[in-house]
Homo-oligomer: A and B are copies of this chain.
């Protein structure tokens, strides 16, 4: 394992210390329990938005704390969901009296820990609502399983809900917006290589030079299927087919697209993927109205990418375009 770290046990804290030092104008970092909070929190009268999950997905979530996006982020250990005391402390720190939304990615660990935190906060008299993001089309959904994973759409939901809260929507309305984003967002991911969890010290899975994993999540889990490596054009077609037919996205739809790198994918390749995706959307009459191309929700040092499509209407687009000022996403400011 080759990483720029000191001791594995201290990685999360030392990295948070770097975030605190680099972005002292935007965020504050609290330790024990760990959470990253907007510099001006709590914002009186504004619905506060919190997300969290295992570390190793940077810039998500800590990089999205700031005006127009998250009020706080709770980073767990690498790939391990945070514990309820983190969410409880963060919720108390950002509650501005208008209630708090927890944006939770659909993983058993995240769900259970956020649930416990919500119980603790409600007991303390804070109004808390949770929306679960489950946008991963690689996973077959079913009432009798853990359902779909929460992946790329989380980033878009955090931005859009942040804007809704910032314009003064109440908690019920922000919850509605979040559900709407989740209902209209779909993601699929693939990996060329495994990542290496620092504490484990070696790659999570073995994969040969001529294979890829299709339908991965963001924790180095093996995907739905392993297959022979193909040209980017075919890979993107395969992923887009699953995504497009799932919602389904139709001719005339307007979409926000995110072509996301898993951590070790050169930007050059992500733009090439975007190019393939753009051609497919054009052919289907789907208009990409906004886009992100880069590393937004990563999986440590994994090579690969994910594609997210979010169908938007006027409302979501306006919220998307609203000013945002966080370490990793900034415009209009």
Contacts and interface: CB of A to CB of B under 8 A. Distances in A.
Contacts of A263: 264, 266-267
A285 to B, nearest CB: 16
A264 B333 contact: no
Chain A: interface residue count, which band?
35 or more
Contact of A2 (B19, B267, B275, B303): B303
A2 B209 contact: yes
**How many identical chains are in the complex?**
2
Contact of A192 (B3, B288, B293): B3
A133 to B, nearest CB: 21
A9 interface: no
B264 A4 contact: no
A233 interface: yes
A235 B274 CA distance: 36
Given A6-B232, A18-B270, A264-B265, 14 more contacts: A2-B193, A3-B192, A3-B266, A4-B305, A6-B233, A14-B275, A18-B278, A21-B275, A22-B291, A55-B268, A58-B267, A266-B300, A267-B298, A268-B300
The 8 closest A-B pairs by CB, nearest first: A18-B271, A18-B275, A264-B264, A58-B267, A4-B269, A18-B274, A2-B192, A21-B278
